[in-house]
Chain A
Amino acid sequence: MNKRDIIICRCEDVTLQDIHNLMDKGYTSFEELKRLLRIGMGPCQGNTCGQLVQREISKYLKVKLEAVKIQKVRPLTTGVKLNSINEGARDES
């Protein structure tokens, strides 16, 4: 299958080809790829693409899977509306 047709990040619509293009330019860490392609920055926060990208980097660099760091996990675990947070915060105080 053509790498252009393989979607790695559904949130931000990033293909395998996009990732390989950047790896060819020397960007071979998740954090760098994330910042240039937005992988892992969408609503799923890398839950879908994290391991796929990890595998691609490991194959590309010919290193063990465990040696490839995945994205930093940041809060929130799921999207919450600012209004809900606002109401919650006001109820507490």
Chain B
Amino acid sequence: MKANYVIIGAGISGCSIAYNLAKKGVKDIVVLDKSYLTSGSTGRCGAGIRQQWGTKMNCLLAKGSIEFFEKAKDTLEYEGDIEFKQEGYLIISTTFEEDEQFEKNVELQQSLGIPARKISKEEAKEIVPHLNTQIIKGATFCPTDGHLNPFRMTDAYYRAAKRLGVKFYFNEEVKDIMVHENKIEKVISSNLEIYTNHVVNAAGGYAKEIGDMAGVDIPVYAENHQILVTEPIEKIQSPMVMSFSKNIYCQQVPHGSFIMGRSDPSVAHNHCIESSWQFLDEMAKTVCEVLPLVGKLRVVRQWGGSYTMSPDRQPIIGDTEALEGFYLACGFSGHGFMFAPMTGLLLSEIMLKEPSTIDISDLHISRFKNKQVFTYEKSVV
């Protein structure tokens, strides 16, 4: 078969890109996924949406995406509830240095029109009464950050894209990309051979492998990040509570359960997505210290998923110098769910050679060329 564009990966990124291209009138778009919808990182993520970032690019991607999420249900004509809850992110500092860094972050965020502010311990306690303020120096709060259901949001993009004529094939693993004289010729998957000149790599944790198939070296790797969910209770916590120094994020979702995660600094670089008792132990210790009341809840389930890390912890979005017609949307480094509307919009603009809504030349893969040291995004768990 033939296609104008082949998108590899039906996570939130691939679905958003497909929708944006189709909405701009592009015909003949095919999306391939080796498993089911949201089977990658998207269906495993913490469902958090925030604009409180330390780099300008991340702030802008998040801000533009939130503006989309606010209207997404209507824009995408989705019949279900995408469970978008804007009750903020409360980011706590526990050291003097961290508090100073937050001062700078908030300055940057405010200069970009993001309504974040520094708040005192006392204010933080008012927002989250069960917060252990003994361990905190201060906090920042942005009321328009929040939570969004990853399955429903991806489904909303998927259904909208399908209505616009995009064809999705599931359980269809891309095995090879054939290139001739610096031009893509075809994509070979489990059961299909698709002749095309344009391929989008939105394969999440497998973006590097897809790049290798096309002969394009992408400096990203996958690492396992674990997360758990508790039994649901009546609402006691509005915002996401997050700490980089304590290594925790914890939010009560609209369903009533608490979702929480933390990182393991010594994690291996591979495709493992298992859960471990070590994570459970460390998570329990941390949450009992930061949010003692939450300790009373029972853990129902734990799981893991891949962060796809780039050298500067910012996504890679754009075309490639190495191969004509090969486009990238990967390396989200643990925060690609919340950027998806901008990922789809901006990449579709680049692909169709339209003017960019915001300048994202800083996200091009060429930024890594001949570079060893990076200023990277530090505000990550």
Interface residues of A (CB under 8 A from B): 29, 31-32, 35-36, 38, 41-43, 45, 74-76, 79-83, 85-86, 88-90
* Contacts A31-B36, A79-B299; A85 near B151 (Cβ below 8 A): no
Q: State how many angstroms separate the Cβ of A71 from the closest Cβ of chain B.
A: 11
Of residues B280, B288, B300, which shows the largest number of chain A Cβ atoms within 10 Å of its Cβ? Answer: B300
Q: State how many angstroms separate the Cβ of B188 from the closest Cβ of chain A.
A: 24
Task: Name which residue of chain B comes closest to A73, CB basis.
Answer: B301
Provide 27 A-B residue pairs closer than 8 Å at the C-beta atoms, listed in order of the A residue.
Answer: A31-B36, A31-B39, A35-B43, A35-B151, A36-B152, A36-B155, A38-B255, A41-B301, A43-B300, A45-B300, A74-B275, A75-B275, A76-B299, A76-B300, A79-B300, A81-B295, A81-B296, A81-B298, A82-B284, A82-B288, A82-B295, A82-B296, A82-B299, A83-B296, A85-B280, A85-B281, A89-B281
Task: Name which residue of chain A comes closest to B80, CB basis.
Answer: A36
A86 engages B301 (CB within 8 Å): no
> From residue 281 to 307 of chain B, which have CB atoms closer than 8 A to chain A?
281-285, 287-288, 294-303
A83 engages B300 (CB within 8 Å): no
A82 engages B230 (CB within 8 Å): yes
Q: A45–B301 Cα gap in the complex (Å)?
A: 8
Tell me which residues across on chain B come within 8 A of A89, comparing CB atoms. Answer: 281-282, 284-285
Tell me which residues across on chain A come within 8 A of B302, comparing CB atoms. Answer: 74-76
> From residue 211 to 252 of chain B, which have CB atoms closer than 8 A to chain A?
229-231
B284 engages A35 (CB within 8 Å): no
A86 engages B285 (CB within 8 Å): yes
B281 engages A80 (CB within 8 Å): no
Tell me which residues across on chain A come within 8 A of B298, comparing CB atoms. Answer: 43, 79-82
Q: State how many angstroms separate the Cβ of B171 from the closest Cβ of chain A.
A: 9
Tell me which residues across on chain A come within 8 A of B288, comparing CB atoms. Answer: 82-83, 86
Task: Name which residue of chain A comes closest to B162, CB basis.
Answer: A26
Q: State how many angstroms separate the Cβ of A27 from the closest Cβ of chain B.
A: 8
Q: A88–B231 Cα gap in the complex (Å)?
A: 20
Q: Is B38 an interface residue (CB 8 A)?
A: yes
Q: Is B37 an interface residue (CB 8 A)?
A: yes
Q: A74–B255 Cα gap in the complex (Å)?
A: 20
Q: A86–B260 Cα gap in the complex (Å)?
A: 15
Q: A90–B295 Cα gap in the complex (Å)?
A: 14
Task: Name which residue of chain A comes closest to B229, CB basis.
Answer: A41
Tell me which residues across on chain B come within 8 A of A42, comparing CB atoms. Answer: 300
Q: State how many angstroms separate the Cβ of B258 from the closest Cβ of chain A.
A: 9
Tell me which residues across on chain B come within 8 A of A80, comparing CB atoms. Answer: 298-299
